[in-house]
Amino acid sequence: MTLEEEVLKRVVPSAEEETRLRETVEDVRSRVALAVKAHKIAVEPLLVGSVAKGTHLSPPEIDIFVLFPRETPRETLEKVGLALGEFLEDKKRMYAEHPYTRGFWKGFEVEVVPCYRIRDASEKMSAVDRTPLHARYVIDRIGKGQRDQVRLLKAFCEGVGVYGAEAKVQGFSGYLCELLVLKFETFRGVLEAATRWRAHELVIALEGPAAKPFTEPLVVVDPVDAGRNVASAVSEETLATFVHAAKSFLGKPRLEFFFPKPRKPLSPAAAKRTLAVRGTTILGLVIPAPQITEDVLYPQVRKAHRAVEDACRRADFRIARSRFAVVGGTILLLFEFEVFALPVAQKHRGPPVWVKNADDFLKKWRGAKDALSAPRIEGDHWVVDVRREARDASRLIRAHLSQWSLGSDLASAAKRTRLLRDAQTFKRALLPEVTRLLDPRFPWE
């Protein structure tokens, strides 16, 4: 059995699961169709997504899009669209451009999404209207055996940590994986192509050229809408990780790329020893996570992480590496400092001696309370030693966290931030993230 066959054996639904899936799809579709009759609107429930295309992994998800006539008022589409998913168990109301329902039915996760029926992308009234066109494009073109090639690519992306276009991952969507296999024919064909990719230097098109320029690291022109980049969610770091993983796999194929072994967290003693050897300091910010969707939360978490990191670096506190995570109901921002504490004295550079406002600089700092020296000339600039505002990074963060741009929902939650230093971060719930900070190996390594 080849490595690819072993992977497929583990990720493709069994015959029993496939039978149960198809029966559930028909049951869901019939229940939606029955609910449609009660509203007397000519709408059509349509199976889309990976199950419709036969590229699904185990466990599969069922996506039913309900196609409304274009003349349907948006208010009616939203109200009726939500009502059609009321039969689902453990249902939740989700939001994209308009609300839809996610829940479970007979053990499968199901989404019932209202959209407008369109013939081509020029008629779209919301972003989700293109999804049935995506399904039809792939179904009409995917060749014999390519469904399993897509499954291999999806499983590979999942294993190396880059699968999913959601804000949490910023990675490869299922549709993107399908298009890449259509373009490069096989799973290995995609990986071989990826070894030559460079961020911001590549545009992949299956049909005509892009209708406009794109600025994202990876550009894959949507074959049903040339004005859309299917890879717009893929971040520079995610793309780089995928390219490195592709090179590593082709050099030495292993199951660990698809099914990485769980990383055992460091013990508190081992984490302490690692810090002692490195001579660094860990600072953790623990913030209560607001009750918002992940796609709203993660961009704000990234913004907060970047704001803290930038402010520390501007104040000369050098950060070796950092990461963030949402652990349960808690946001964790972790920073490992090369320089965590600084002396009281800080050199403050002023203007050139001969500029007009040089006298203002001298007036301000001669005899000033926070001046630790008289102004002096270095090169052609005035310089003075001043009292540093915060001698360690934790003091800086405490003093200014509420003033930094953290995102609308995090700004309030950040008022309850707890700062943890070194061993204080070695709590059981946090140690997996501390381990990933101190041991940044890739999942397959």
Task: Give tens-digit pLDDT for 250-276.
Answer: 999 999 999 999 989 999 999 999 999
pLDDT confidence bin for 178, thresholds 50/70/90? very high
Q: pTM value?
A: 0.90
The residue-averaged pLDDT of 371-390 equals: 94
Between residues 266 and 37, which one has the greater pLDDT?
266
Q: Is the pLDDT of residue 383 over 90?
A: yes
Predicted local distance difference test score (pLDDT) of residue 41: 79
Taking a C-beta distance cutoff of 8 angstroms, is the pair 399, 415 a contact? no
Per-residue 3-state assignment (H helix, E strand, C coil) for the chain: CCHHHHHHHHHCCCHHHHHHHHHHHHHHHHHHHHHHHHHCCCCEEEEEHHHHHCCCCCCCEEEEEEEECCCCCHHHHHHHHHHCCCCCEEEEEEECCCEEEEEEECCEEEEEEEEECCCCHHHCCCHHHHHHHHHHHHHHHCCCCHHHHHHHHHHHHHHHCCECCCCCCCCECHHHHHHHHHHHCCHHHHHHHHCCCCCCCCEEECCCCCCCCCCCCCEEEECCEEEEECCCCCCHHHHHHHHHHHHHHHHCCCHHHCCCCCCCCCCHHHHHHHHHHHCCEEEEEEEECCCCCHHHHHHHHHHHHHHHHHHHHHCCCCEEEEEEEEECCEEEEEEEECCCECCCEEEEEEEECCCCCHHHHHHHHCCCCCECCCCEEECCEEEEEEECCCCEHHHHHHHHHHHCCCCCCHHHHHHHCEEEEHHHHCCCCCHHHHHHHHCCCCCCC
Model pLDDT, residue 406? 81
Residue 27 has pLDDT above 80, yes or no: yes
CATH 3.30.70.590-classified regions of the chain:
268-341+391-438
The yes-or-no verdict on residue 278 having pLDDT over 90 is yes
| pLDDT higher than threshold 80 for residue 440 | yes
What confidence category does residue 415 fall into, taking pLDDT thresholds of 50, 70 and 90? confident
Separation CA 97–CA 95 (nearest Å): 6
Split at pLDDT 50, 70, 90, the class of 356 is confident
pLDDT of residue 124: 85
**pLDDT per residue over 286-295, tens digit each?**
999 998 888 8
Q: Within the chain, which residue ranges are assigned CATH 1.10.1410.30?
A: 142-260
User: What is the distance between the alpha carbons of residues 127 and 68, in angstroms, rounded to a whole number?
Assistant: 14
- CATH number of this structure's domain 142-260: 1.10.1410.30
Residue 302 clears pLDDT 80, i.e. is over it: yes
pLDDT surpasses 80 at 98: no
- Which residues belong to CATH 3.30.460.10 in the chain? 1-128
Q: Report, as an integer, the average pLDDT of 156-166.
A: 96
Q: Minimum mean pLDDT among 127-141, 228-242, 392-406: which range? A: 392-406
pLDDT tens column, 66-85? 999 998 898 888 899 899 99
Predicted confidence (pLDDT) at residue 181 exceeds the cutoff of 90: yes
For residue 7, pLDDT beyond 90: yes
pLDDT at residue 197, as a whole number:
97
The whole-chain average pLDDT of the chain stands at: 93
The stretch 301-320 carries a mean pLDDT of: 94
Per-residue pLDDT at 34: 86
Task: Inform me whether the pLDDT recorded for 16 exceeds 80.
Answer: yes
Residue 295: its pLDDT value, please? 87
Write down the pLDDT at residue 229.
97
Mean pLDDT of 348-372: 91
Note the pLDDT of residue 252: 97
Over residues 235-247, the mean pLDDT reads 97
- Of 325, 1, 327, 10, the closest CA to residue 158 belongs to 10
* 100-114, 331-345, 393-407: range with lowest mean pLDDT: 393-407
Is the confidence at residue 58, as pLDDT, over 80? yes
Looking at residues 209-222, what average pLDDT do you find? 96
Q: Is the pLDDT of residue 49 over 80?
A: yes
268-341+391-438 adopts what CATH topology?
A: Alpha-Beta Plaits (3.30.70)
For residue 152, pLDDT beyond 80: yes
pLDDT at 93: 87
- Give the confidence band of 422 by pLDDT, cuts at 50, 70, 90: very high
pLDDT given at position 149: 98
* pLDDT score at 126: 83
Question: What average pLDDT does the segment 119-126 reach?
Answer: 86
Question: What number is the average pLDDT over the span 345-364?
Answer: 92
**Homologous superfamily of 1-128:** Beta Polymerase, domain 2 (3.30.460.10)
Predicted confidence band at 404 (pLDDT cuts at 50, 70, 90)?
A: confident
Indicate if the pLDDT at residue 177 is higher than 90.
Answer: yes
Answer whether residue 408 shows pLDDT above 90: no
